[in-house]
Amino acid sequence: MSMIAAFYGGKSILITGATGFLGKVLMEKLFRTSPDLKVIYILVRPKAGQTLQQRVFQILNSKLFEKVKEVCPNVHEKIRAIYADLSQNDFAISKEDMQELLSCTNIIFHCAATVRFDDTLRHAVQLNVTATRQLLLMASQMPKLEAFIHISTAYSNCNLKHIDEVIYPCPVEPKKIIDSLEWLDDAIIEEIAPKLIRDWPNIYTYTKALGEMVVQQESRNLNIAIIRPSIVGATWQEPFPGWVDNINGPNGLIIAAGKGFLRALKATPKAVADLIPVDTVVNLMLAVGWYTAVHRPKSTLVYHSTSGNLNPCNWHKMGVQVLATFEKIPLERAFRRPYANFTSNNFTSQYWNAVSHRAPAIIYDCYLRLTGRKPRMTKVMNQILRTASMLEYFINRSWEWSTYNTEMLMSELSPEDQRVFNFDVRQLNWLEYIENYVLGVKKYLLKEDMAGIPEAKQHLKRLRNIHYLFNTALFLIVWRLLIARSQMARNVWFFIVSFCYKFLSYFRASSTLKV
């Protein structure tokens, strides 16, 4: 019997960010391994015209939850969606709901955040810092609370090269920033933001670092742990391999590469690609929840959920495997054949952007215009290049994350728990994982049918022929222009023609002699 699964039985669990990528996989695993849990409270806001109930219904009826429905048929009754907006005072939760949360919650998993790199400082602080403080305040009023698990990111200290499982101080006190945002207007905030974030690459990582400091400062006598995942990728094993449902991190670039939009990337091939499967992160989260509640460590422990120091893979290996998978399982209606290279040189990168990205987009838009359609490719291309440039910081550097606490926890688990809540990335086979990942992007994110693969392959063949035809035509045009304008080009041309003529005459004469 799994001790961790048994621990969550009968518990009331509060999850923020349950509608996000990590939150959904966390709920799925909880329901599947501890179907006798009492209730999962989720703080949700209405979004995209959907009510809370519609959002929950959609999640529970997705492919991800298929296995849960077999193990826990009454899952609908065990999930309680509470209206909340984490960027509002008291999260805009009703008095009754707040009372219920305060009196019943046993465990908190705080996943909600804005993960946009380009968010405004005001909004990112509201969500990643102030909301964390507010939730800790709520937690301190929960008599039954056993553990508070805060999800941060391994990149919260990406201004350092070696990162230990400790909370590092930030140059500016979070409280000072929270207070100053109350009276500064938006224009001034955006002006001072670059000065505040110093050597952090974006607002996201900076505010996540502030969030950790808040956790340390406001921990009071709570049982708290922080988990820092690196780049969270598709599921490795559970509930099935390759599940993914958003375009963050590598996902958008994998699609852009598979559709033939992105054919070169400013990346350092040997830099470590620190991906971590989402189910591995979730298993660690549940193990940490159990350990924090049962063993009650004296201080706030930080756990790194990273792969680089235990089972490293670099961007070259990853890129090659992504492309190899697209050879076997192409995406539908590609713009060009998937082909790409990584370059760490600025000049080469600019060159490839002009030749491989912008030029084909402009040519395609001309074609759309000529055929009476609305041009759109340049816009799409600009968006992809903007996204790629935002991610560049992370694919041109390597970090070392120590994992003492994570390894310590692994050794504390029973063999059964190590199996059911496996977070040992040493067992991960990267080639197999990446293949399933790419397949998952095609099936679950793009919702493409596997039956369409032969047609997709046929389409790629047509693209290859168009490519050859285009290159030949281009060569002939350039050559013709050269011959018309340059004596030297004419001489070379006559030399080639006469050489070919002589070769053919010799070949014909020798074959006549043999007869």
Ligand X SMILES: NC(=O)C1=CN([C@@H]2O[C@H](COP(=O)(O)OP(=O)(O)OC[C@H]3O[C@@H](n4cnc5c(N)ncnc54)[C@H](OP(=O)(O)O)[C@@H]3O)[C@@H](O)[C@H]2O)C=CC1
Helix or strand holding residue 108 (H, E): strand 107-110
How crowded is residue 322: how many other Cβ atoms within 10 Å of its Cβ? 22
Taking CB within 5 to 8 Å according to partner kind, which of ligand LQLD3KLK, ligand X, none is near residue 211? none
Q: Which of 11, 14, 23, 326 binds ligand X (CB under 6 A)?
A: 23
The stretch among 139-147, 247-255, 291-299, 349-357 that binds ligand LQLD3KLK (CB under 6 A) is 247-255
The stretch among 56-64, 108-116, 314-322, 435-443 that binds ligand X (CB under 6 A) is 108-116
Asked if 247 touches ligand LQLD3KLK (CB under 6 A), the answer is: yes
User: Is there a cis peptide before residue 415, judged by omega within 30 degrees of 0?
Assistant: no
Residues touching ligand LQLD3KLK, count (CB under 6 A)? 35
Asked if 210 touches ligand LQLD3KLK (CB under 6 A), the answer is: no
Residue 2 has φ and ψ, to the nearest 5°, of -75, 125
Q: Which of 61, 88, 383, 472 binds ligand LQLD3KLK (CB under 6 A)?
A: 383
Q: Which of 139, 232, 388, 420 binds ligand X (CB under 6 A)?
A: 232
Helices (H), 371-403: 377-395
Helix or strand holding residue 400 (H, E): strand 400-401
The stretch among 78-86, 95-103, 332-340, 349-357 that binds ligand X (CB under 6 A) is 78-86
Asked if 329 touches ligand LQLD3KLK (CB under 6 A), the answer is: no
Taking CB within 5 to 8 Å according to partner kind, which of ligand X, ligand LQLD3KLK, none is near residue 316? ligand LQLD3KLK
Q: Which of 68, 272, 395, 460 binds ligand LQLD3KLK (CB under 6 A)?
A: 395
Sheet holding 79-83, edge to edge: 79-83, 39-44, 12-16, 107-110, 147-151, 224-229, 301-305
Asked if 440 touches ligand X (CB under 6 A), the answer is: no
Q: Which of 38, 45, 175, 459 binds ligand X (CB under 6 A)?
A: 45
Spatial distance between the Cα atoms of 400 and 386, rounded to a whole number of angstroms: 27
Q: Which of 320, 368, 439, 489 binds ligand LQLD3KLK (CB under 6 A)?
A: 320
Of residues 236, 252, 319, 323, the one with CA closest to residue 284: 236
CB 215 within 8 A of CB 129: no
The stretch among 57-65, 121-129, 314-322, 423-431 that binds ligand LQLD3KLK (CB under 6 A) is 314-322
Q: Residue 121 or 361: which CB sits closer to ligand X?
A: 121
Q: Residue 18 or 288: which CB sits closer to ligand X?
A: 18
Asked if 316 touches ligand X (CB under 6 A), the answer is: no
How crowded is residue 176: how many other Cβ atoms within 10 Å of its Cβ? 9
Q: What's the DSSP call for residue 452? A: G
- In sequence order, what are the residues at sequence separation of 6 or more whose Cβ sits closer than 8 angstroms to the Cβ of residue 123? 87, 114
Q: Tell me the three state secondary structure of residue 403.
A: coil
Site of tokens 């090659």: 320
- In sequence order, what are the residues at sequence separation of 6 or more whose Cβ sits closer than 8 angstroms to the Cβ of residue 131? 16, 86, 87, 91, 112
SS3 content of the chain, % helix, strand, coil (to 5): 60, 10, 30
Shortest CB 326 distance to ligand LQLD3KLK, Å: 9
Q: What's the DSSP call for residue 52? A: H
Binding positions for ligand X, rule: CB under 6 A: 17-23, 43, 45, 47, 84-87, 111-115, 127, 151, 153, 208, 229, 231-232, 246, 248-249
Binding positions for ligand LQLD3KLK, rule: CB under 6 A: 115-118, 153, 155, 231, 247-250, 252-254, 256-257, 265, 269, 316, 318-320, 322-323, 340-342, 383-384, 386-387, 390-391, 394-395
